[in-house]
Amino acid sequence: MPVIGVVMQKGGVGKSTTTLSLGTELGRLGLRVLLVDMDAQSNLTQAVGLDPTQITTSVFDLLMDPVRGVESAIQPTAFDVDIIPATLGLARAELVLAGHVGRELLLRRALQLVRERYDFILIDSPPSLGLLTLNTMAAADSLLVPLQAHIFALHAMAHLEETIALIRQLHPSVAIQGILMTMVDRRTSVNQAVEQAARERYGSLVFETTIPFNIKLVEAPAVGQPIGLYAPNSSSAQAYARLALEVCERYGRGKMQTGVAN
């Protein structure tokens, strides 16, 4: 039951889009999936069609009381996945939990109670380093890094690697399991150069699947739908479907056919 943290210390690289799109594609394969929104901006929560202002129990409540909070925080969605949503109140977590002993391990403690129910748990982290990102990394078995095909995003990888080194003091086994090239436009020389540099530097950690830039990816969250439902024939939707199969292979879920895990 892999717990995967979707992380990158840079905004706009496709963390929430990847968490939702990959999660729903895994759900369509018949796997049990839980999404966790650890970003106070609540992009993932809104992308599944939930209104953060109408949510009574969120990931913030889970962090305040991991044992009792996790059960009430899980909500079903219309897309074959469950979610632990976020609200703006999550922005208070750093301050409220500042003096809490073991505050970096609260999410990990909560997910341990429910992880046996799911085949995959995907955690969407905020773009900045702080308590919420630390909780994401400490809770994850491994990390999936969306890497925008842009030179500045590649430079940000060095900072992420430094952060992971710090996290290993809390969780020695956590490591990057996969790097996903996003917003790829191979018509540009910069995109091609960044992808080549990433593959040369990180080798097999970089997924074979790349996610092309497509305006449908921008439109889908606005209507509260994953790309696979909103525009199933788009190049981006098809790429995330391929990624789901590749993730299953990489995480030992075996070959997937017509929604059944062998």
Q: Model's pTM, two decimal places?
A: 0.88
Average pLDDT, rounded, for the chain: 85
What are the structural domains, with CATH classification, of the chain? Answer: 3-261 (3.40.50.300)
Amino acid at 92: R
DSSP 97-132: TTT-TTGGGHHHHHHHTTGGG-SEEEEEPPSS-SHH
Give residues with Cβ within 8 angstroms of 165, minimum separation 6.
Answer: none
Q: Please tell me the distance from the alpha carbon of residue 86 to that of residue 39, in angstroms, as a whole number.
A: 7
- How large is the average pLDDT for residues 10-24? 83
Provide the percentage of residues in the chain whose pLDDT is more than 70: 92
Inter-helix orientation angle 131-139/151-167, to 10°: 70
Question: For residues 161 and 42, is the Cβ–Cβ distance under 8 A?
Answer: no
Residue type, 234: S
User: What pLDDT is attached to residue 59?
Assistant: 96
pLDDT band at 127 (very low <50, low <70, confident <90, very high): confident
The sign one gets for the Cα dihedral 48, 221, 229, 261 is: negative
DSSP class of 204: G
pLDDT at 35 over 50: yes
